[in-house]
Structure 1
Amino acid sequence: MKLTWFGGTTMRVHIGGSILVVDAALAPTGVSPAELTGGADRLLTLAAGEEPVGPRTWRPRSAGRLLDETDAPPVECWSIGPSALVIDAPGEPPLVILAAESPMLGRWADRAVVVLLGSNGTGRAATLLDRHAPRLLALGLDAPDLDRAFTELPPRLDGTGLLALEQGLAVEV
């Protein structure tokens, strides 16, 4: 999985052999729409557009037999609340993208990679970590909020990795 954050809620995600772009229409000034969406398999929006599922009852697909893999869609995307997506791809941990308060997630969240975008990221991250222990927490926040996060969150991590996303730079997860 490779994540590239462009600012705000705009991201490019390489996962499960597909390229997904989140909130391309909200890309910051200076980001070329053609470069952002070029080669994308799917354009997503955080605010709406994906089929909703219950975040507590949803489960990632189990690894299927090779014969079955050709019938299943390689990447599935679901809305798990306002400004919240979960992306499921075979062989990858679930990817959760949040630009609002985290809904209560199921036990599957302990294996997930969670990306927090937008404002009040430190407070939202603290709430998330009080409920769940994801594999990785990646933060796409403004500099003051990011500094606060790296000061306040480490005592709450309990094995969760913490990563700062930098605008325009890809991170392999």
Structure 2
Amino acid sequence: MKLTWFGGTTTRIHVGGSILVMDPQAAPQAIDAAELVSGADRVIAGFGTDLAGADGSTWKPRKPPRLLDEGDGLPTVDAWCVGAEAVLVDVIGESPLLLVRGDVPPLGRWVESAVVVLFGHGERLTELGVAVLDNIPPRLLALAGDEVAVDIAITALRDRLEGTGLVSLEAGLALEI
């Protein structure tokens, strides 16, 4: 999995051999929108408002098929809206990916193996991080926000991690997970 955050909630995600682009219309003006979606297998606009809904507290990742049942193609990439402003991406063989810009939805045990990306400014980034870590801590927590918000969040969250990895995303730079 590779994440490239461009600012706001605009993110390019390479996962399971596919490319997803989240919120290309919200990209900063310096980003060429045509280039951003070039080669994308799927574009998710409006932070997933058009996606089918799923209950994050009962959802479970798909299990890998038996070797005999595997096809020749790449695994399908599924995405759901799991709350007012949270998107869940699932690909067989990859960690679940949860992107959150609003309130953290109720989450099930699957989040222990998940990568969670939080989008926010100021104290909001810290509030989201606390809400995730106080629920069920994920495998990795990625912070996408301005430098001041990230610095505040890291200071507030570092003693709560209990085994969760913590990274900050820098606009325009890819993070391979």
Is residue 55 from structure 1 mapped to residue 64 from structure 2 by the alignment?
no
1: CA distance between counterparts of 2:28 and 2:59? 32
| In 2: Cα distance, 1:18 partner to 1:81 partner | 24
Counterpart residue number, 1:43: 43
Scaled by the length of structure 1, the TM-score of the pair is 0.96
Q: Secondary structure at the match of 1:76?
A: strand
Q: 2:138 aligns with which of 127, 134, 140?
A: 134
Alignment of 1:1-173 (within 5 A): 1-45=1-45, 46-70=47-71, 74-119=76-121, 120-173=124-177
Could you tell me how far 1:122 is from its partner in structure 2? Answer: 0.8
Change (3 A) 1:32 1:40: same
Name structure 1 gaps, 5 residues minimum: none
**3-state secondary structure, aligned to 1:13:** strand
1:113 deviates by 0.2
Check conservation: 2:3, 2:13, Cα contact below 8 A: yes
Paired residue secondary structure (1:81): coil
**Residue identity opposite 1:76 in structure 2:** D
Greater CA drift, 127-136 or 61-70: 61-70
Q: Which amino acid aligns with 1:64?
A: P
* Amino acid across the alignment from 1:115: V
Superposed CA deviations along residues 88-138 of structure 1, whole A, max 9, x for unmatched, are 011100000001111110000111000001231111101110011100000
Q: Is the 8 A contact 1:47 1:82 kept in 2?
A: no
Residue 72 of structure 1, CA deviation: 8.9
Extract unaligned runs of 5+ from structure 2.
Answer: none
What CA distance in whole angstroms lies between the structure 2 residues aligned with 1:112 and 1:138? 11
Residue aligned with 1:126, SS: helix
Provide the rounded CA distance (Å) in 2 between the counterparts of 1:138 and 1:162: 6
Detail structure 1 runs of 4+ shifted over 4 Å in the superposition: none
Closer, same or farther: CA 121–95 of 1 in aligned 2, 3 Å: same
Count of residues in correspondence between the two structures: 173
